[in-house]
Structure 1
Amino acid sequence: MTPDAIDLTLIETLFSRLAEPDSDQVGITRDAYGPGEQRAHELFLETARELGLEIERDAAGNHFAICPGGDRALPAWVIGSHLDSVPQGGNYDGAAGVIAGLAAVAALRSRGITPVRDIIVAAFRAEESTWFPASYLGSRSALGRLDSEELALLRADSGRTLADHMRDCGGDPEAVAAGDNWLGRRTLHGMLELHIEQGPTLETEATALGIVTGIAGSFRYRQARCFGEWGHSGAVAKPYRHDALMAFSEVAMALEARWEALEQAGRRATVTVGQIATPPEQHAFSKIPGEVGFCLDVRSEEPATLKELEEALFEITDRVAKKRGVRFDLGPRSASTPAPMDPTLTARCQAIASELKIAHRRLPSGAGHDAATFANAGIPTQMLFVRNQHGSHNPFEAMRIEDFVEGVRVLAALIQE
Structure 2
Amino acid sequence: MNNAAIPVTLAPSVAATRFLVEEMFEALRQGSPGNPGITRAPYGEGEDFAHRLLADRATALGFEVSRDAALNTYVTLAGRDRSAPVLMTGSHLDSVPQGGNFDGAAGVVAGLAALVAIREVMPVPPQDLVVMAIRAEESVWFQVSYVGSRSAFGLLPAGALDGARRIDSGRSLGEHMAEWGADVAALRGGARHLDAAGIGGFVELHIEQAPSLVEAGLPLAIGTGIPGNFRYPDMVITGEQAHVGLPRRFRRDAALAGADFAAGLDRIWAEHEARGVPMAATIGRFHTDAALHGMTSVPGRFLMSLDVRAYDAGVLSALEEAVLSLVRDIENRRGVRFELGARASAPVGPVAPAVRTRLEAAAGVLGVPWQPLGSPASHDAATFAQAGVPMGMIFVRNENGSHNPAEAMDVADLMHGIGVLAGWMATPA
Aligned to 1:378: 388
Q: Compute the displacement of 1:23 (Å).
A: 4.0
TM-fit CA distance, 1:147? 3.5
Q: 1:344 to 1:291 in 2, by over 3 A?
A: same
Shift of 1:281: 1.3
Cα distance, 1:112 vs. partner? 4.6
Which of 161, 179, 188 is the equivalent residue of 1:168? Answer: 179
Q: Deviations over 1:248-305 (max 9, x none)?
A: 1112111111111111101001011111111111111111111100001100001122
Residue deviations 1:329-372, cap 9 Å, x none? 11111011101100011111111101110010111012110100
Give the counterpart of 1:397 among 387, 404, 407: 407
Corresponding residue for 2:426? 416
Does residue 223 of structure 1 match 2:223? no
Alignment of 1:110-125 (within 5 A): 110-125=120-135
Q: Report if the CA contact (8 A) 2:33-2:39 is conserved.
A: no
Query: Aligned letter for 1:108?
Result: I
Shift of the alpha carbon at 1:186?
6.7
| Equivalent residue, structure 1, for 2:3 | none
**Number of the residue aligned with 2:212:** 201
Question: Is the 8 Å Cα contact of residues 115 and 415 (structure 1) preserved in structure 2?
Answer: no
Q: Of the candidates 347, 356, 368, which is equivalent to residue 346 of structure 1?
A: 356
Residue 129 of structure 2 contacts residue 425 of structure 2 at CA under 8 Å; is this kept in 1?
A: yes
Residue of 327, 330, 333 corresponding to 1:317: 327
Q: Unpaired runs of 5+ in structure 2?
A: 1-9
2:17 paired with 1:5? no
Give the one of 132, 146, 154 matched to 2:156. Answer: 146
Identity of aligned residues (%): 43
The letter of the residue matching 1:132 is F
1:144 touches 1:184 (CA, 8 Å); kept in 2?
no
Equivalent residue runs for 1:233-382 within 5 Å? 233=244, 235-382=245-392
CA distance in 2, matches of 1:35, 1:22: 8
Mark the CA change 1:255 to 1:24 in structure 2 (over 3 Å): closer, same or farther: closer
Normalised to the residue count of structure 1, the TM-score between the two structures is: 0.97
One-letter code aligned to 1:362: P
Tell me what 2:100 maps to: 90
1:68 aligns with 2:114: no
TM-score (norm 2): 0.95
Residues 215-250 of structure 1 show CA distances to partners (whole Å, capped at 9, x for unaligned) of 0000111100111111121x2111111111111111
Contact kept in structure 2, 1:208 and 1:359, CA below 8 Å: yes
Q: Deviations over 1:119-141 (max 9, x none)?
A: 11111100010111210010011
Q: Give the alignment partner of residue 232 of structure 1, picking from 238, 243, 246.
A: 243
Q: Is the aligned partner of 1:15 residue 2:9?
A: no
Q: Aligned-pair distance for 1:5? A: 3.2
Q: Note if contact 1:3-1:406 (Cα within 8 Å) is conserved in structure 2.
A: no
Q: Distance in 2 between matches of 1:286 and 1:104?
A: 61
Letter in 2 for 1:205: A
1:109 deviates by: 1.8
Quick one: distance in 2 between partners of 1:141 and 1:232?
50
Contact 1:301 1:366 in 2 (8 A): no
CA distance in 2, matches of 1:241, 1:143: 50
- Write the distance in 1 (CA, Å) between the matches of 2:330 and 2:191: 48
Task: Determine if contact 1:28/1:85 at 8 Å carries over to the other structure.
Answer: yes
- The aligned amino acid for 2:88 is V
2-structure distance, mates of 1:147, 1:283: 36
2:139 to 114, 129, 135: 129
Aligned counterpart for 2:169 among listed residues 124, 143, 158:
158
DSSP-derived class of the 2:159 partner: helix
Kept in 2, the 8 Å contact 1:3–1:405? The answer is no
Q: Kindly report the root-mean-square deviation, in angstroms, between the aligned alpha carbons of the 2 structures.
A: 1.3
